[in-house]
Amino acid sequence: MYPAVGIPVGILLICALIVVVVRIVRRRQASKRMAGTAQVLSVETMTTTGGPVPSYTCRIALRVEIPGRPPYEATSSNGDFMTPVEIAAMQPGKTVAVQIDSTDPQDVWIDFSSIT
């Protein structure tokens, strides 16, 4: 009826579906994850979305420490959009909670709920 409205709404719904599917897959993968901490080394903004509250994807360099393993450097590109508040909390030198894939230690997931 109104393609000028329907097409953007359809695109937004597809994007929302992709985000939901990615989060479901990550939750399923959580069973093979190991918990630890990481020191933020750098934060690089990759992409930005518009809207009343902009969101960003970032590449975050980390020094990861997992109990029973030697510390190592890795990069996290969570794929989730971060708010300006979350980015502000990810300052170099900050320690954050992380989880790694036990079969691929370079697959680092930052627990944004632990950031204050």
Nearest Cα to 79, choosing from 56, 102, 96? 56
Domains along the sequence of the chain with CATH: 33-114 (2.40.50)
Q: Is the pLDDT of residue 13 over 60?
A: yes
- Please tell me the predicted confidence (pLDDT) of residue 30: 60
Q: What is the pLDDT of residue 32?
A: 75
Confidence of residue 17 (pLDDT cuts 50, 70, 90): confident
pLDDT value of position 112: 76
pLDDT at 86 over 90: no
Q: What is the pTM of this model?
A: 0.64
Task: Name the burial class of residue 76, with classes exposed (0-12), middle (13-18) and buried (19+) by CB atoms within 10 angstroms of its CB.
Answer: buried
* Mean pLDDT confidence for 71-83: 80
**Exposed, middle or buried by CB within 10 Å (0-12, 13-18, 19+), for 108?**
buried
